[in-house]
């Protein structure tokens, strides 16, 4: 049902973004993927789903502008690229703070401001931002991440209101813990910050948050993103969709 629609998914060479890109392509959208990684692997993804790739570093406004110009007028924008840094606030490296805010929040502003004119003109568009359960609630040692994701929630609601009469919707998807390289990468720092073993981090810190006691699967997030692109979802805007095994229900 997305034949003829053009989508850009940021941070889609891995994890959740890759699953969203695959899900949109499976419905017929032509997809631009973005992110870093091994050139052969990226070429393989492009061949598999008929996508093109932008290697833009989203911490750089100039590179975002080039990516958006090359992508052309979009029908679907999925702001998904994100990073984490786990550290007590008083030791949090200032440079890391700026990087997390730049990628998780400021880049979402830049791609959105550049995508909106074409969507407005077409009278149809879908802006989907991968926020997090940490856009609604907090855990310690993730000050920059939690601030950025709460920011994405506020930004998305604002854009939804500004575009309410245009046929363009803006929503957040807020996963709980999804097993991806981003989660794997934070386990050593969480072990250090909390003095725990790897198994304790997985069971007592991560899965302890999710009443289902299961990691969310990337394909489930892909299905939710695709669902929000349906015509019938035209009145769903400014919402923040939890997909977190019940975490934020507690
Ligand atoms: P991931 O590390 O698997 O993927 C991140 C993607 O972003 C990769 O494609 C990477 O190349 C790209 N990327 C990183 N830095 C970039 C930059 N400067 N410019 C452009 N691209 C860049 O991560 P993931 O777990 O799939 O996370 C995707 C999104 O989901 C993030 O916004 C994350 O905060 C959010 N999220 C993840 C979880 C989880 O449990 N994994 C939970 C809630 C929210």
pLDDT tens digits along 194-210: 999 999 999 998 999 99
Residue 25 lies in a domain: yes
52 near 102, Cβ under 8 Å?
no
Residue 212 lies in a domain: no
131 near 87, Cβ under 8 Å?
no
Distance 82 CA to ligand 1 centre (A): 4
Distance 100 CA to ligand 1 centre (A): 11
pLDDT tens digits along 152-172: 999 999 999 999 999 999 999
Q: Is the CB of 183 under 6 A from ligand 1?
A: yes
Residue 122 lies in a domain: yes
Residue 206 lies in a domain: no
Answer yes or no: pTM beyond 0.80.
yes
Q: Is the CB of 15 under 6 A from ligand 1?
A: yes
Residue 186 lies in a domain: no
Mean residue pLDDT across the chain: 97
Residue 73 lies in a domain: yes
Q: Which atom of ligand 1 is nearest to the CA of 102?
A: 18
The domain of 173 spans 6-177+217-249
What CATH number is associated with residue 234?
Answer: 3.40.50.720
Residue 62 lies in a domain: yes
Examine the residue annotation and report whether 177 is marked as an active-site residue of this protein. no
**Sheet strands side by side (includes 76-79):** 52-54, 30-34, 6-9, 76-79, 125-130, 168-175, 240-243
Q: Which atom of ligand 1 is nearest to the CA of 134?
A: 43
Residue 23 lies in a domain: yes
């Amino acid at each position: 049902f997305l034949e003829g629609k053009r989508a850009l998914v940021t941070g889609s060479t891995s994890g959740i973004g890759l699953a969203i890109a695959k899900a949109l392509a499976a419905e017929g959208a032509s997809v631009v993927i973005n992110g870093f990684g091994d050139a052969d692997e990226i070429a393989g993804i492009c061949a598999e789903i008929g996508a093109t790739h932008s290697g833009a570093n989203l911490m750089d406004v100039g590179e975002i502008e080039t990516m958006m110009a090359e992508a052309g007028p979009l029908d679907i924008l999925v702001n998904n690229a994100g990073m984490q840094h786990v550290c007590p606030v008083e030791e949090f490296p200032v440079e890391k703070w700026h990087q997390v805010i730049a990628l998780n929040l400021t880049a979402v502003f830049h791609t959105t401001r550049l995508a909106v004119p074409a969507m407005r003109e077409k009278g149809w568009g879908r802006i989907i931002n991968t926020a997090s359960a940490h856009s609604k609630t907090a855990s310690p040692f993730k000050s920059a991440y939690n601030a950025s994701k709460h920011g994405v929630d506020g930004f998305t609601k604002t854009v939804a209101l500004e575009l309410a009469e245009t046929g363009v919707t803006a929503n957040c998807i807020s996963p709980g813990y999804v097993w991806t390289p981003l989660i794997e990468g934070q386990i050593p720092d969480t072990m250090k910050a909390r003095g725990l073993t790897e198994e304790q981090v997985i069971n007592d810190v991560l899965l302890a948050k999710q009443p289902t006691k299961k990691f969310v699967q990337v394909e489930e997030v892909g299905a939710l993103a695709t669902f929000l692109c349906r015509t019938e979802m035209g009145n769903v805007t400014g919402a923040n969709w939890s997909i977190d095994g019940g975490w934020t229900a507690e």
